[in-house]
Structure 1
């Protein structure tokens, strides 16, 4: 579709409320809400989900039903601000927990302060915003009808459907409430274990599932293909590699383990050996994704560069961006902060390299989400590629040891957040383009979301680390652990490269077959207990939403909305339980320890409650609207 023939829902000559106290206040609340929920989800399973659609639905429910206001552009600005929290959290949790893990492992290293996290996150988020402004014309306007931007288009459809009423918001709120109750019973009261586990002694391995709402929801949202790829990776790790190590290793002791294989058990073998195999597979998958998209990267990069020197003046409201002169001044100020900020000792050259890499990967991210959606955005691959180069450069210039590794992680954090923010913002701008929003107002909304989310993420991370600790069973922080291993390996040369290269071989074999590498690689890297409920959620969607007609589309849409609510509900209670875990009582125990029932119902109780949860997904996706 040509740009000239496209007409937005709200024409350029109409002016509706966009930036209002209501949209700003509600957007800020949702930015913190979804930032916290996605931080918890990403640290638990290594995946995050787009917050644009659930934020839009919640906004419609509050603005239309409760406040009785009627402006689709005001709703759009709420989801624009709200989704910024999710995207910033997604970039931050891929890398920053590595600094906490180093601090927990050594008394010499200190944790990054709240303000260090806030400044790094804010600088990165603002750079992502700055880089996306010249990309808007090239990707959103000129290629309308060419790049589908799945989430952005879907979010616009949800908001347009909201013109008929706020029925969809009830589905999201229902999921949020049910997940909140379920999570509190499972991980608060501990009536049943949220992780059910069985040992398979003959194979020297085990099997189980984390019976939690967010995981089944991730599977439903991702669909059968992606979830089955993840589960296949789990099968490779837990039913191929672990049994082989257990069989051939027996009583032998192989580094990096400090005990014989026979004493490790399935979980010990996974944490000592399989994680390195998975790290090699994930790193290779990320690099393959970048190589395959390289021609697209170059084309988009050229267009974006021409955008910096060419600005089309337009009186049309729907084509007004923030002024590039002001953004360039802001970019120079950010470079100065990165250059002079002691927590990122990379010098002026390093700051310039960060900006160049950041803009380069912002073009990658924006283009990729335009083609395949935010769920397939290779942010981790970009982060790994950046860390490999940054760590090698820092090491060659004398920045070694903990200081050099800290600098590398900070550089990787900035790149990850830039890529994540650029991808999210491109989806939001696509939604706005379809609806007829003012780009400048959306960009201001993103700016507000950046500031709020940057201030919130530090507190969220400190809270979660205090409650459970990054790298623990409750919060494995898979992506950050992988980044940590990459930096340590390049800087110290102490990685078990044989295991890493085995992962590389697995990834190459998967690519040769023609299957997407990253989902399988993440399945290898994560415990099978996480990929099992994700796979079940994917099967649920395939079984109930496989019809290609309007009925099938309606069922899928309801399931995604309900699943988004489940994710938000579990994430919120996860944060609440983290607060309970650090509140001391007079008996010396925390509040969470005091209410703990010790898994009274056992594995059977976990299975029963999980089946009931799955039944709720079926009920809410199949339920019919009441006749008016």
Structure 2
């Protein structure tokens, strides 16, 4: 493969006419968009992280189209992952911000947002993200080929091109999904054992330790790897085994704001929710801003180069260099902005709509290029959203838009921009995959619009369902990112935060930065209960074990790591799907709980989690084992 974009030959030539945007690919893509969007919404509201859906969607598509339907079309599979991955990005943007509205409603400060309002905010944010990316495709994807690697997009193209093994890979994803779904139902449906194992360390007052013994967290740890997992776990250790015992020791019988009772009477969760959560919030906000500051030279260069490249031509016209017409792109941007301004269910005035277009175009441009360098997993979407909220809330306050109306307007603007930023990064990764395999950009862009529209309609229902079942800000759904965004807006608008705790988190983050440790994963570990980072750490250790295992050649090691990633992706999707099903049962007052008849307790939870780890190791090694038996 030549690194010169002018000489690059995609997997499928431009003059080939393979099926691409078919009824099969659209329907499968829509299903993937709903499934992975819902699963990521549940995961993000629980742990503050989402995972890419492109590769699992592509693998499942290959299993259906190539193996079951006996069709051979790499471009159809690419269309499925294009549409399917949009659901994950819309979900990420929505759950990082919109649950703040439910939290305010729970406090009696405003009405619960309508389904239509959530759907429209997600829809317009997603449409703007796609539209802002389209004029940049030639500059970023084509002209920068060989310079911008787009790691997830390139990896997805490799999976698609290796589609002959799609059946085995799809089976691995489905196995993870099935095992995880059954496990989740036994744990949180039947409640045969507690999904959260917890022990108070009575000899070390104020401290606690435990783990949420759930498949999604194990899968997240495996996919993130040992380094990121260890940063999160280190943050959890600092909070639960250092700061909290110190608070208990020095606080004694005092009642200190924002706590409501004497510290000596609090158990570990009480100390965490009253004090450490605010320290963690300061650290997370600082981590997001630091990542933005460090990226500023790249951001400025990205914006300048991308804008210069708008409208560039790339040789003779064919299906592989056609984008959706620029007239359509501009019309969609204008219609979206005017609709947000005029529609009464979206609390945005003309100035707010203008801010959305300005900030949205800037950050969508930045996101589109940055994911080409550092990957979607490291894209500082939360940092960009925090920066947007700080600026927007300050502008609204300065112009007299104060109180709850001003805060609702701020979170709405931030939500649209957050979704746009996430979708722009996803679109650029998908277009990179399409460029490598030889897809038609205009069809992919139409597919992105379909994925955005479907997932925007679905995400409101998911948010309502999860809130009705458990409520945001609870142990089941802490909604960490949205809670942080809410605190940022309230801090700027009202100044009612416990600033001493927040600034303690700020300076902890700065110390971590001085040690050259990535601040965001550490800060997220400090912000969330240690029960989440502990199983993530175990998943990271499993990944480290296979990465360092002796006696494997590079091909075998790569194959086992990939099997593990596919199985872990299935585990995440399976838990998310059953989590939503259990939420439906909770709303319908149908409780399959059998814990009063039989409960295995914490020991049962630990033993089942060990069995879950064993399944991950088994499926990670299974294909290589089969090859050895065949040999």
Query: With structure 2 as the length reference, what TM-score do the two structures score?
Result: 0.96
Structure-2 residue corresponding to 1:170: 171
**Preserved CA contact (<8 Å) 2:20 2:75:** yes
* 1:165 Cα deviation after fit: 4.5
Counterparts in 2 of 1:598 and 1:162: CA distance versus 1, 3 Å: farther
Query: Could you give the per-residue CA deviations for residues 559-598 of structure 1, whole angstroms, max 9, x where no partner exists?
Result: 0000000001100100110011111xxxxxx212655547
C-alpha distance in structure 2 between counterparts of 1:218 and 1:165, whole Å: 23
Matches within 5 A, 1:149-188: 149-188=150-189
Cα separation, 1, equivalents of 2:302 and 2:562:
32
Determine if contact 2:50/2:92 at 8 Å carries over to the other structure: yes
On the 8 A contact 1:191/1:598 being kept in 2, the answer is no
- Contact 1:189 1:597 survives alignment (8 Å): no
Assess if the C-alpha contact under 8 Å between 2:86 and 2:423 holds in 1: yes
Deviation at 1:141, TM superposition (A): 1.2
Q: Distance in 2 between matches of 1:314 and 1:385?
A: 42
**Aligned position for 2:556:** 551
1:586 equivalent in structure 2? none
Alignment partner of 1:263 out of 243, 262, 265: 265
Partner of 2:75: 73
Aligned residue for 2:614? 615
Shift of 1:280: 0.7
- The CA distance in 2 between the partners of 1:236 and 1:228, in whole Å, is 12
Instruction: Identify if the C-alpha distance between structure 1 residues 135 and 319 changes in structure 2 by more than 3 Å, giving closer, same or farther.
Output: same
CA distance in 2, matches of 1:593, 1:249: 42
Structure 2 gaps of 5+ residues are none
- Paired with 1:165 and 1:606, the residues of 2 have a C-alpha distance of 34
Counterpart for residue 191 of structure 2: 190
Alignment match, 1:39 = 41
Q: Is 1:572 aligned to residue 577 of structure 2?
A: yes
- Measured in 1, the distance between the counterparts of 2:492 and 2:360 equals 21
What secondary structure, in the 3-state scheme, does the structure 2 residue paired with 1:234 have?
helix
Q: Map of 1:199-348 to 2, 5 A cutoff?
A: 199-203=200-204, 204-308=206-310, 310=312, 314-348=316-350
| Contact 2:139 2:312 (C-alpha < 8 Å) held by counterparts | no
Root-mean-square deviation (CA, aligned residues, Å) is 1.4
Please give the alpha-carbon distance, in whole angstroms, between the structure 1 residues aligned to 2:223 and 2:77: 23
Deviation digits for residues 432-452 of structure 1 (CA, Å, limit 9, x no counterpart): 111010111100000100110
Maintained 8 Å contact 2:138/2:312 = no
1:110 paired with 2:115, answer no
1:114-162 CA deviation, whole Å, 9 max, x = no partner? Answer: 1000111100000000011122112211121222211111111111111
- Aligned pair 1:59/2:57, yes or no? no
Paired residues of 2:189 and 2:593 also in contact (CA < 8 A): no
SS at match of 1:197: strand
Q: Which runs of 5+ in 1 are unaligned?
A: 584-589
Aligned-pair distance for 1:4? 1.5
In structure 1, what is the equivalent of residue 135 of structure 2? 134
Match of 1:458 in 2: 460
Partners of 2:105 and 2:326 lie apart in 1 by 40
**Closer, same or farther in 2 for the Cα pair 1:352/1:296, shift >3 Å?**
same
CA distance in 1, matches of 2:81, 2:594: 36
Alignment pair present for 1:603 and 2:608 = no
> Quick one: structure 1 residues 230 and 579, their matched pair in 2 at CA, closer, same or farther if it must change by over 3 Å?
same
Q: Is the 8 A contact 2:138 2:310 kept in 1?
A: no
**Following the alignment from structure 2 to structure 1, what is the Cα–Cα distance between the partners of residues 345 and 243?**
40
Alpha-carbon separation, structure 2, partners of 1:200 and 1:334: 54
Structure 2 distance, partners of 1:413, 1:77, is 27
